[in-house]
Amino acid sequence: MADPDHAVVHYGHLVLSDDLLELQRLDTLTDQLRHRRAHLPERAPAEAAAVAVAALDRRSAELVRRDGELTAAIVGLEHDSEDLTTHRARLEAQLKTVIAPREAEALMHEIETIKSKRDALDERELEHLEEQSAIADEQNAIAANRPECQRVGDEAAAVLAAAEAAVETEASAAVVARAELVERIDAATLADYERRRQRHGGVAIARLDHRRCTGCHLDLAPGEVDQVRATPAGEWTDCPECGRMLVP
């Protein structure tokens, strides 16, 4: 039911109800256009294309970073390998001067240990080189695919921009028409309209359709219908069910 403070009231404005109905039409249109712009069918392919391009760029950056890590690791492995080679050469030279069998055996064991470490380093370096080769192949594939992805993205973005521009043109026309219209409506009535619009989900004023308020879609009692229909032309009453401005 309507708020008791909003009982049926008549306002003495001969054409004001028509102005308010037109204002409501423009505001509803603006709301619809805002929703349409946010849900344009052209938006999904444009966003998907942009995501695809961004994913390629992100993957490319990851590959560059990983390639840098591998290069640094290879340099470190080569440095360690050189140190082991130098140490092995020194041990082999020392082995030539050793006479005691036990000392010679210890040196030979250490040389074999160094050889095993060197082999492990070489194996790790080979793994890094193979990964770098795979990275290079993937980077080449990205470089080959990105132009087409970018082309698709640019075309989708252009189609979206055209659709948005069409909506914006219609919305701008509605804004201009609204600005001209509100100049004919007094501030108190306009404030009342805005309060009701905010309170009732964007719809402040409605018409009576037979017995039904087109704002709340509820049927009025026969006496209430008669009261609404008795409203002078250009005026309105409050809907007894929802409190919206109601025009017969």
**CATH number of 54's domain:** 1.10.287.1490
User: Per-residue pLDDT for 3 more than 90?
Assistant: no
Residue 124 belongs to some domain of the structure: yes
- In the listed set 115, 131, 163, which residue is the last one of a domain according to the structure? 163
- In-domain check, residue 236: yes
| Gap between the Cα atoms of 221 and 240, Å rounded | 9
Cα 30 vs. chain centroid, distance in angstroms? 22
- Please tell me the predicted confidence (pLDDT) of residue 174: 97
Indicate whether 62 and 95 sit together in one domain.
yes
What was the pLDDT predicted at 12? 42
Mean pLDDT of 108-133: 94
Whether 179 maps to a domain, the answer reads: no
The pLDDT tens digits of the residues spanning 174-202 come to 999 999 999 999 999 999 999 999 999 99
The DSSP-derived string for 85-142 is HHHHHHHHHHHTT---HHHHHHHHHHHHHHHHHHHHHHHHHHHHHHHHHHHHHHHHHH
- The count of other CB atoms within 10 Å of the CB of residue 228 is 22
Residues spanned by the domain of 18: 4-37+186-247
Q: 17 lies in a domain?
A: yes
For tokens 């050889």, the residue is 115
The strand ranges marked E within the chain are 205-209, 212-213, 237-238, 245-247
Find all residues with CB under 8 Å of 19, minimum gap 6, and list them: 181, 184, 185
| Domain match, 31 and 47 both | no
Residue 13 pLDDT more than 80?
A: no
**Residues 100 and 13 both lie in one domain:** no
Instruction: Say whether both 153 and 223 belong to one domain.
Output: no
Structurally, how many domains does the chain consist of? Answer: 2
Does 14 share its domain with 59? Answer: no
Is a pLDDT exceeding 90 seen at residue 82? yes
pLDDT on residue 233: 86
Q: Could you tell me if residue 170 is inside a domain?
A: no
State pTM to two decimals.
Answer: 0.71
Residues 89 and 200 in one domain: no
Asked if residue 57 and residue 103 are part of one domain, the reply reads yes
Domain boundary among the residues 129, 163, 197 is at 163
19/52 same-domain check: no
- Look at residue 15 in the predicted model and tell me its pLDDT: 62
* Average pLDDT along the chain: 91
Note whether 118 and 207 are same-domain residues: no
Q: Average pLDDT in the 94-100 region?
A: 86
Position 140 in a domain: yes
